[in-house]
Structure 1
């Protein structure tokens, strides 16, 4: 059955200069996300600390040249190409340091859930969607769908697979509409579940 996707929103590659704005967009998008809420349960510390955390993440992934933002940076998608580590060792250290301001226990919880994700990360070549977020005031306008469809169209043309972890049932349903299939449930200690999702490339007729 062919799935009809929204037309891609106008998008541009994220540059280093755009990282602060991208970080602010992603921090707002993930403020109430189940996983980030579990890692950093204090709302005030989470709100204050997430922009710095996302700034480190966005700066590290920007260098891969696969991170996109919509017009006015109301949405952003950070991709990692095949056979590539998302962050260098030094960037990983910086991300850990940026996790500490999220509150007591945040580094430990982040480490636990990250280890659980890495344990089931597929070895087959794939493009990895590390993060996709939309500003709360723009959610429902198709911006995230547009960014996702744009990249997946390229992967279909190249015959390449994609992988991600959905952090909520709502996100899981979005990705299922775009051809991703759940391959497993990831959970660490008392964390909310994440859904490991894989997508084979589609033919030109869907």
Structure 2
């Protein structure tokens, strides 16, 4: 296993999309939003086809050398998507989620409500393919200090805590409530 983490190039984006789609197949929030396994598998590919380029424009996409792990970072001041990004992504997201869109918006509203104000590198998504979990790859792709352009006065990152994003990050852990909201949020120190 090569655990080198580096910024993704345009030619890497299809592999990043697949890595994140596989990594989030069993995510509690996305399982609540999209309860059918087959629909969720298709929808996750559609979701990440929208999010990976959007987050690349707003920050940086990191990947492991063999595509076992990937993370999407939004630059300081870019944690909240603006009107232009919303307009650019609304039609593909409606097509991706269909009737599950209200559940997705409910989860997103819960995350947005917990996100602190200010300038910081925002860890939007980090995922590891199931066969590579437990090997420290999520920590590598979410440890931003050596891989993100540092901005004076901006913390390294923030992410809502998830109980089971992947085994190696389960210690961050609070639970997804049955109504699709998260219990708590936490800062990530990075390293």
TM-score range, shorter chain: 0.7 to 0.9
Give the total of aligned pairs: 187
> 1:61, 1:86 within 8 Å by CA — same for their partners in 2?
no
Distance of aligned partners of 1:185 and 1:82 in 2 relative to their CA distance in 1, 3 Å threshold = farther
Distance in structure 2 (CA, Å) of the matches to 1:88 and 1:201: 26
CA positional deviation for 1:143 = 1.6
1:115 and 2:104 correspond? no
Match for residue 24 of structure 1? 18
Which piece of structure 1 moves more, 27-36 or 44-53? Answer: 44-53
Does 67-76 or 84-93 show the bigger shift?
Answer: 84-93
TM-align CA RMSD: 3.2
Residue 159 of structure 2 aligns with which residue? Answer: 164
- For the 8 Å contact 1:26–1:134, the answer to whether it is kept is yes
What TM-score do you get using the length of structure 2 for normalisation? Answer: 0.80
Distance 1:172 1:93, change over 3 A: farther
Which is greater in Rg?
1
Structure 1 126/49 Cα, relative in aligned 2: closer, same or farther at 3 Å?
same
Superposed CA deviations along residues 107-159 of structure 1, whole A, max 9, x for unmatched, are 1111111122212211132111000001111112222222223x14567x866
Unmatched 5+ residue regions in structure 1? 1-7
Cα offsets for 1:146-184 (capped at 9, x unmatched): 2223x14567x86642210122256598386xxx7x8x9
Matches within 5 A, 1:1-150: 9-85=3-79, 87-101=81-95, 105-149=99-143
